[in-house]
Structure 1
């Protein structure tokens, strides 16, 4: 039978209580002061034991961890269903394709001859729903802070509100759409992220989010998760 940490703590406290009590009785005169000290000590010990019993009874720590784990696992499934539509236009490249959020797939994709220093843009109408869903995960009270921080780059406030694009984007950009069949090589109605970002940085931030998720799970597990991220 599995013994809880709280129960072990109670056994240790009771053992120490007996030792201290024996010492007090044997080394002190049994007078009013000694009896008072023993009463205060006994009261403190049993107050602590009651607190441990209540903590163990309601098991708040486990309940909170279970909630955290649930929301993290839901986030993993959500991210793994993400498909980036990629449209890149530079002086020498015209590319339209797709990419799943997967560490191996991203690593292999980054070996291609695309311009990964190209700045990214979004059509807000194509990505706002996805960004809002990410934001709901990010602000969930049970989402671990390190993971929430790693999601900021695709949160609801991640994109620049105005659709006007600076002139430097006109002939050199990578347009990102999300969970559409593919991107389209057009710049009308698009916005850049609030913090200007290269295509390479955007992919690396996704990889970092996956890394933070795996790190958190491994940190709270007795074995490596070996997730297919």
Structure 2
């Protein structure tokens, strides 16, 4: 919106200068010419002022600010998570840490067990749900960002009792250590969300947020994403 107003003012400025040059060139610069230039100048600056005031009080600015506020709040909430993945088999088990940072997540795409299905306990699911669900009902969240969040909105879940430990990787938060394997664990009902796709979806979501901010800003946002 701001860019469109800037382009409009530039076009009007060029038009204004063209008219002034024409008046000077086609006249003897007498009293009538001075009067015409004065009237033209006043009209031009009045128009520019009206455009600037319209932009200032335009409701779209208010809506955009609310959108920006909710997008930035979402970004802070997403990056506040540090989760772990625990892999267990008959011989050993270990934890993998995941920071919600684009570079860190990309490095994790070289990890082992990327093909394992993610599973989660009630604590992981409920805390994510509490954080994310308000954004889905917020009317100011841009639709493309809401779509990018869908992978975190897992609602139809099943127990993993029928799945071998070596086929899954358990996600949990750092404050759940020491870890309890005896809690009830779930997988998303489609049974297709692997660790690799989960990481890729996180990276994609961060990219969508950054692109939205850059697309609606006059300068490139230098964000710690």
TM-score, scaled relative to structure 2 = 0.70
Q: Structure 1 residue aligned with 2:125, among 124, 127, 145?
A: 127
Seen in structure 2, the aligned counterparts of structure 1 residues 179 and 143 have a Cα distance that, compared at 3 Å, is farther
Q: Structure 2 residue aligned with 1:180, among 167, 172, 175?
A: 175
The equivalences for 1:43-192 within 5 A come to 56=55, 58-90=57-89, 94-112=93-111, 114-155=112-153, 158-162=154-158, 164-165=159-160, 167-178=162-173, 180-182=175-177, 184=179, 186=181, 188-192=183-187
- TM superposition shift of 1:174: 0.4
- TM superposition shift of 1:141: 0.7
Seen in structure 2, the aligned counterparts of structure 1 residues 147 and 170 have a Cα distance that, compared at 3 Å, is same
Name stretches of at least 5 consecutive residues in structure 2 with no aligned partner.
Answer: 16-50
Seen in structure 2, the aligned counterparts of structure 1 residues 200 and 91 have a Cα distance that, compared at 3 Å, is farther
Report the RMSD for the aligned CA atoms in angstroms.
3.0
Q: Is the 8 A contact 2:55 2:61 kept in 1?
A: no
Seen in structure 2, the aligned counterparts of structure 1 residues 142 and 171 have a Cα distance that, compared at 3 Å, is same
Q: Structure 2 residue aligned with 1:204, among 200, 207, 211?
A: 200
1:58-110 CA distances to partner (integer Å, 9 max, x unpaired)?
41010000000001111111111111121112466622132111011112222
Name the CA distance, whole Å, in 1 between partners of 2:143 and 2:174: 26
Partner SS for 1:171: helix
Aligned partner of 1:224 in structure 2 is 220
TM-score, scaled relative to structure 1 = 0.69
Name stretches of at least 5 consecutive residues in structure 1 with no aligned partner.
Answer: 16-51
Aligned residues: 183
Partner SS for 1:168: coil
Partner SS for 1:66: helix
Q: Is the 8 A contact 1:218 1:225 kept in 2?
A: yes
- TM superposition shift of 1:203: 0.7
